[in-house]
Amino acid sequence: MNIIILGCGKVGMKLVERFSREEGHNITVVDQRYSAIENAINDFDIMGVVGNALSTETLMDAGIDKTDMLIAVTGSDELNLLACLMAKKLGSCKCIPRVRKPEYSKSFLMFKDDLSLAMVLNPELAAASEIARLLRFPSAIQIDTFAKGRVEILKFQIDKNSVLDNLMVQDIVAKLDCDILVCGVERDSEAFIPRGDFVLRSGDYISIIASIQGAAHFFKKIKVKTDRVKNTIIVGGGDIAYYLAGMLTQHGISVKIIEQNEERCERLCQLLPKVTVINGDGTDKRLLLEEGLEYAESFVSLTNIDEENVLLSLYAKTVTNGRIITKINRIAYDEVIENLNLDTVIYPKNISADYIIRFMRAKKNSLGSNIETLHLILDGKAEALEFRIKEDSPVANIRIDHLKLKKNLLIACITRNGKVMIPRGRDTILPGDTVIVVTLKSGFKDIDDIME
């Protein structure tokens, strides 16, 4: 696929990195900064064009007339949308613009088809959705959904006193009488797709796959809290806070936003009548305590300064036992952040790139199956893919234990006629099923790729 990426910022470079892992893509980046293009070309096997994204000459130099997909992720919403309009005039490619302003989130639907937009990316809305999902299940570090919401992969950490400590994976179902499957384990810096004889330890981060009911039953058995939080304190009143507060209040969660800018506070009060908005310095410990941090069931740090968010979350951990979520923009320090034990860290730039990669991979039609859904799990070291099985699929009508599967791969779930099945070796995959596969390898495009 021929892809043009407009903008070599954090999201643009993350996309280049992700696309470079997959075969079959010819990538061209466009940016006005010569240094940004030079760095991109030096780090990856791509083409680069220095110039204005709204220049006809620049777009033609980038090969817009032969491009399959244009992704506009410059710092300007207006520029991104205009670039998509020009791309339609100069070629026949599909377009994905990044549009961040809330006031555009509804209006773009009116001209989505006119501009041949494959999708519209809103990083703040995407990040807010991730956070809201986590606050509705506070014990999970990451939640990914499949099969139109019927199946979830949930990541959590095993506590010292957990019944899972020193338990073999193959003994979980029998001992706890639950229908789940452990599809991944993170220990230290390594990621595993565990076999049955793998022994879990306290401190491990494990990912399980189950139906919503099955997951709830499992967490009840291991005595892990599954109820949504009742209240939250958000520091920082930007666009993510706006989207997040709206989502949480719809689910009956009480929300306080602490924002330093008085004008922004007034605007949030108008937009979010059910939210308590406090004009003050969110880094002031006394203010946080006065607003009930000690009793808060969750705390979300969403300021524009990463260092402030980290320090706020570290302080909140000393005051409350509630769920702590931290927003980080600069992904260069993710290894340092991981060692700070911050509960959950949200990287909007990563989420944005993942949404686009997931969408493009899911839209590729294959001979034996279609990718319905794709999520990165195990801290990005593994992929969970949902395939829809066609009549002529090479895995159809064959027992799972008769398939010659690649290593470090697991058939984790089958959905058939709306029913969720955690598969065992004697189960058979049928045409029409959706199958979730977890693998440490990347780039699978068809269900056929899972076999040796």
Nearby residues of 176 by Cβ (< 8 Å), 6 or more positions away: 163, 218, 221, 222
Predicted confidence (pLDDT) at residue 232 exceeds the cutoff of 60: yes
Q: Strands 205-211, 151-157: parallel, antiparallel or unpaired by DSSP?
A: antiparallel
Tokens of 322: 């509630």
More confident residue, 369 or 15: 15
- Under the banding of pLDDT at 50, 70 and 90, the label for residue 120 is confident
Predicted confidence (pLDDT) at residue 444 exceeds the cutoff of 80: yes
pLDDT of 298? 95
Percent of the chain past pLDDT 70, that is, above it, reads 94
| Torsion sign across C-alpha atoms 185, 190, 196, 200 | negative
Tokens of 423: 């598969």
pLDDT of 360? 75
pLDDT of 100? 84
Predicted confidence (pLDDT) at residue 245 exceeds the cutoff of 80: yes
Q: Which helix (H) or strand (E) covers residue 209, if one does?
A: strand 205-211
Tokens of 274: 């059910």
pLDDT of 331? 59
pLDDT of 216? 86
Percent of the chain past pLDDT 90, that is, above it, reads 60
Predicted confidence (pLDDT) at residue 138 exceeds the cutoff of 60: yes
pTM summary value: 0.80
User: What does the pLDDT average to over 315-336?
Assistant: 84
pLDDT of 366? 46
Q: 436: helix, coil or strand? A: strand
Of the given ranges (21-25, 300-304, 319-323, 427-431), which has the lowest mean pLDDT? 21-25
User: What does the pLDDT average to over 123-136?
Assistant: 90
143-188 pLDDT, tens per residue? Answer: 888 888 889 999 999 988 899 999 999 999 889 999 999 999 999 8
Nearby residues of 23 by Cβ (< 8 Å), 6 or more positions away: 443
Phi, psi of 73 (to 5 degrees): -130, 40
pLDDT of 263? 96
User: What does the pLDDT average to over 124-143?
Assistant: 87
- State the distance between the two ends of the chain, measured CA to CA, in whole angstroms: 25
C-alpha to C-alpha distances, 243 to 13, 147, 376, nearest whole angstrom: 26, 25, 23
pLDDT of 163? 93
59-112 pLDDT, tens per residue? Answer: 999 999 999 999 999 989 999 999 998 998 898 888 999 988 877 766 666 666
Tokens of 232: 């939250």
User: What does the pLDDT average to over 234-244?
Assistant: 95
Of the given ranges (63-77, 186-200, 324-338), which has the lowest mean pLDDT? 324-338
What's the CATH code, domain 2-121? 3.40.50.720
Work out the number of other CB atoms within 10 angstroms of the CB of residue 79.
18
More confident residue, 209 or 329: 209
pLDDT of 107? 67
The domain segmentation of the chain, as residue ranges, is 2-121, 231-321, 357-450
Mean pLDDT of the chain: 89
**Residues 152 and 188: beta-carbon distance below 8 Å:** no
361-396 pLDDT, tens per residue? Answer: 666 544 445 688 888 889 888 999 999 898 888 899
CATH pick for 231-321 out of 1.10.357.10, 3.40.50.720, 3.30.360.10, 3.30.230.10: 3.40.50.720
Work out the number of other CB atoms within 10 angstroms of the CB of residue 184.
25
User: What does the pLDDT average to over 303-312?
Assistant: 93
- Under the banding of pLDDT at 50, 70 and 90, the label for residue 253 is very high
Examine domains 2-121 and 357-450 and report if their fold is the same: no
Radius of gyration (C-alpha) of the chain in whole angstroms: 23
CATH pick for 357-450 out of 3.30.70.260, 3.30.1180.20, 3.90.180.10, 3.30.70.1450: 3.30.70.1450
d(CA 260, CA 237): 8
More confident residue, 115 or 355: 355
